[in-house]
Structure 1
């Protein structure tokens, strides 16, 4: 029994071992008084001797940013000078370069200066881009050009990402600035928007709800899924693209169109003399000119034709009077015909009976015989 328990202890010890040689628990890892997420401001006294090697980064910029960079370059130079960083603007190559100097004390400030050059080359205003030099501010360049294959869909979805002064993106990247947590949220919003998973407005609504829930200490350690709204994706009917009907394949080529000489041969113009040809052309020209003159004259005279006056309901025109007379005549004719028909149908019964009692001539002849 003792051997079995010893084996269990050995197995537990083996599971607690770490893979890395130096991956061992430190005494300050579980210290509640230490905030591991806090970023302390750099003190130059931590590195009085400076850097041993020179580090440099260079970034290209588009041609349309050249004029703006020339205007704001003195302010960029003065901002980097405070941290001991030198910068250079090369207009021939279209590049910006930053490098460390002997006065540089912070070893990470060269990475911040590199991010500043990236933001300036991506149309970020200088007063906003300089904030990246603070330790609490970070940046993220989100590539969106390869998320959608269809260019029309990509441009349409990119318009949902609205910047300051209602400006929209024009390139294939999104430049974001903020804290690490905020940058993670922005990347999620941008990628979901371009991939058509969720509209940015819905993401913003969820973030506003989370911000309100953080204020309540009772809900700090609970799951917030029951409070957050759930949005269903709606399928919007799109217009069907009309496809051209495929023509039936035939191995024979289309018939050759008649040439100008063939048309002249068919009309007989080819055998006419030069004088007759010129007279015919002149006659056709005169006919076209006469048609144009008549058309322009008609358009000029149309401006002098008075518009039709609106008819009053009480007054009757001559056409109305003629129509009324024709209707009256037709009614009188129909009344006469109806009277004749009625007279033929109305028979006196006494006269009919008396006529029936008298023997007819044909019957009397037969009786005599």
Structure 2
């Protein structure tokens, strides 16, 4: 059979977008209705019941366009979607499954309905099992949000995805490329890598993508290389061990005495039960008496009069009188000298 690779193709023009995905219409389904019914169900928390009841008419209208039936069971607390004889798109039931998953994860209904469009996918990332310590988990989850949600907003703008941090999961909606970036950022954040590093990298990639000359080149030289740095201040240990050189002995240190050994040495082990109780009672009374004595001394300190140094006050008064007398004598002698000079 001759090759048709180099044959002219008059229908293949430059204005055709080969990557465009056309909408799936009812006439494209040549096989007709499905042979079997497919269904998916998911549970939702109790606090979502009131909101889902209000938003269910919108969800029903959106799924009817694709020929999908949906039921809301408030008794069991579940949502179910299933195919009908009007369903023509095989992928519609998978989109409906993602829709009820997002609704159960507290995504608003007008936002969750966008999952039914082509080119929009969702990813629910479980983050609770990545960090064991609860306090550490809460801090790292807060890093995804940032101060007043600024980090989350930056991620949404750079990845073109809708992100919702709820409980132990992160729900994301958007294009496939953006979802891949969101998962990488969230997983690294739970592994103690701050999202700001990824945000800087995404911003640089966004600017580099605008330059057509760099399309076929490696961008590694433009991207920041963040290395782990050891801080200059080392953590000081709570218990400082003595690191002075000790004499080497081949024998191990003596074993510490147990409570029973110490009781045998003191003779308390051989006492009767009543004698032990009496001894413990005496110890408690002695400790109580010593504490009461300390408290009494502290209370008496407030009523102790300060020492008065009367002798020092008398000396100070005498010195003041002497200085005053000397000043008066000096002033009178100066007046006499002035009179003599005038005469």
TM-score normalised to structure 2 length: 0.61
Q: Where does residue 86 of structure 1 map in the other structure?
A: 69
Offset at 1:251?
3.1
Contact 2:105 2:166 in 1 (8 A): no
Partner of residue 42, structure 1: 24
The structure showing larger relative contact order (alpha-carbon pairs under 8 Å, at least 6 residues apart) is 2
How much has 1:53 moved relative to structure 2?
1.6
1:214 equivalent in alignment to 2:206:
no
TM superposition score normalised by structure 1: 0.57
Q: Does 1:173 align with 2:169?
A: yes
**1:9 maps to which residue?**
none
CA distance in 1, matches of 2:119, 2:228: 37
Q: Who is 2:94 aligned against?
A: 111
Partner SS, residue 89 of structure 1: strand
Relative distance call for 1:69 and 1:221 in structure 2 (3 A) is same
Specify which of 310, 324, 331 is matched with residue 316 of structure 2: 324
Q: 1:146 Cα shift?
A: 2.1
In 2, the alpha carbon distance for the partners of 1:234 and 1:326 equals 73
Indicate the SS of the match to 1:58. strand
CA gap of 1:165–1:259, structure 2 versus 1, over 3 A, is: same
1:231 equivalenced with 2:226 (yes/no): yes
- Alignment pair present for 1:190 and 2:186: yes
CA deviation string 1:203-242 (max 9, x = no partner): 1111111111111111111111111222233456797796
Contact 1:159 1:169 in 2 (8 A): no
Q: CA RMSD in A?
A: 4.2
Q: Is the 8 A contact 2:98 2:115 kept in 1?
A: yes
* Number of positions where the alignment pairs a residue of Structure 1 with one of Structure 2: 253
Structure 2 runs not aligned, ≥5 long? 7-11, 153-163, 240-255, 286-311, 324-343
Offset at residue 32 of structure 1 (A): 9.6
Distance 2:73 2:113 in 1: 20
Q: What are the Cα deviations for residues 3-52 of structure 1, in whole angstroms up to 9, with x where unaligned? A: xxxxxxxxxxxxxxxxxxxxxxx979xx9977664322111111162222
